Amino acid sequence: MQRMKLFLAASAMAGLLSVGASAGNADLVKQGEKIFNTKKIGNCLACHAVNGKNINNPGTLGPKLQGLSAWPAEALYAKVYNPYTTNPISAMPPFGLNGVLDDHQIKAVVAYLKTVK
């Protein structure tokens, strides 16, 4: 049972890590981009411009995203899931923790963010 649990945990992690790598990823990236740019879903453009992407009137409440392709996928996931671990009065909502975006949606956003140079 313990080994089973470890195996499942490892493959879940591997699944997360492979998000940036696999070629069949293109669909997930597209989903993530939609979540990023849609007001009624993630609405990330409300606060974030993105380096190298043509975002429609992004806000300035958050930093312009760049160099994210170098971030580990888990770090990107954690940030979108709950940014308050670093700053308790962050202006960025905890999209995962507070039930806005589910696990699949955050993975899609992470796939998109991994394409940001």
Partner 1 sequence: MIKKVVTASVLALVGVAALNAGTYNAQAEKDRQALVKYFEKKFANPEKSKNQFFPYTSDKELKDNYAKGLKFNDFRLGSYAFSKEGKSQYDELNEMPPYEDNVDAGEELYNSTKGIKQCFPDPAIAGEYPKFDDKSGKVVTLEAAINDCLKANGQKPWNMKKGKLADLEAYFAAKSKEAGKKVDIKIQSKAAAAAYESGKKIYYSQRGYLKLSCATCHVQGAGERVRREYLSPLLGHTTHFPVYRLKWQGLGTMERRIGGCEKNQGENPHKANSQWVAKMIYFMSYMSNGLPVDGPDIRK
Partner 2 sequence: MKTMIKVATILGLGAALAISASAEEVTPMVKEAAKLDVKKVCDVKANGLKKVLAVAEKYNPEAVKLGVEFKRLGITNSVYIKGLKKAIAKKEKKVTLHYKAKGKKKQKTFPVDYATWRACTFAVRSLQQVDEAQKTWRLAVPGDGYKF
Q: Which is nearer to partner 1, 20 or 96 (CB)?
A: 96
Question: Is residue 5 a contact residue for partner 2 (CB under 8 A)?
Answer: no
Q: Applying CB under 8 A, which part among 29-37, 50-58, 62-70, 92-100 lies near partner 2?
A: 92-100
Residue closer to partner 1 by CB (options 11, 85) is 85
Residue 4, sorted as left (phi over 0), alpha (psi -120 to 50) or beta, turns out to be alpha
Residue 40 binding partner per list partner 2, partner 1, none, with a CB distance cut-off of 5 to 8 Å that depends on partner kind: partner 2
